[in-house]
Amino acid sequence: MSKRALRRVGHKGAEAIAPGNTRASFDAALEAGVDMIEFDVLVEPPADWPSISVAQAERRSWPDERLILAHDWVDASSRTPDTLEEGLAHLAEGRFDGIQLDVDLKLPGYELRVLEALRAHGLLERALISSQYRSSLALIRRHEPSVRLGWSVPRLRRDPFRHRLLLPASVAVLQMLRAVLPRRAARAIRARECDALMANWRLVTPALARAVRGAGGELYAWTVDEPERIRQLERLGVTGVITNDPRLFAAPA
């Protein structure tokens, strides 16, 4: 059996080259030779957003707010973000034919609007819709059983390994997740709750790669900006690596 080629995924397009979640970043990712472009979809910040907790935002529905390309509301408020419609129209241009899309939903509450937008632009067959929220994946599966879904783990708002005081607790949680995730991921894939696992690179172990592969799923590692780590993950057999700088895929071994 021939070795499967690593899928090269640009995070937010190619954030290391051009501002992420923009059409310019998508162009940069295409120029760098990616196989897939990941981008974030969020609702436009509501007027009261600075006072809304994450838990409150997760419980809201968003029937009318504009959908934008942004990672979070701080990001969205710092610039004039592209709308989802602008981004999808750009990605529907012929030069992006063959490029797959990882459409990452940052909150619940607007899943079906994203589904319809992808369908309207003829991009649904090329899309993998990912989310940290399994309820979002279940809702999409009910309405469009054929669309590919990715479960993103763990649910994080910021990287705990960047904070010295959090390191001991973070290491302990990491070890626990590494132990339980292979079985959980395989079970979710076999139950068709998802088709792929989008895992922080620290969670990727040989056991996880074997479990996902054995269940018939795909495994993507995020977000990796070191060439040697990309090669290590490729040797483990991940489906794809998500990086801010897709030029790294061409870095010499």
Q: Three-state SS for 104?
A: strand
What gap in Å lies between CA 159 and CA 188, rounded to an integer? 25
pTM of the model: 0.93
Domain 7-250, CATH number (from 3.30.70.20, 3.40.50.300, 3.30.10.20, 3.20.20.190): 3.20.20.190
Angle, CA 155 vertex, CA 149 and CA 156 arms, to 5°: 130
Confidence of residue 174 (pLDDT cuts 50, 70, 90): confident
Kind and range of the H or E element at 120?
Answer: helix 111-120
Q: Which pLDDT tens digit goes with each residue over 105-147?
A: 999 999 999 999 999 999 999 999 999 999 999 999 999 999 9
Between the CA of residue 15 and those of 11, 18, 29, 134, what are the distances in Å?
6, 5, 9, 27
Q: Which two tokens stand for residue 247?
A: 């030029």
Predicted pLDDT of residue 253: 63
Burial class (CB in 10 A: 0-12, 13-18, 19+), 170: middle
Confidence of residue 171 (pLDDT cuts 50, 70, 90): confident
Is 158 a residue whose pLDDT tops 80? no
Average pLDDT, the chain: 93
Mean pLDDT computed over 36-47? 96
> How many C-beta atoms lie closer than 10 Å to residue 63's C-beta?
10
Confidence of residue 1 (pLDDT cuts 50, 70, 90): very low
What are the boundaries of each domain within the chain?
7-250
Cβ atoms of residues 196 and 149 within 8 Å: yes
What gap in Å lies between CA 239 and CA 220, rounded to an integer? 6
Single-letter amino acid, residue 225: D
Is 74 a residue whose pLDDT tops 80? yes
How many residues does the structure list for the chain? 253
Cβ atoms of residues 148 and 195 within 8 Å: yes
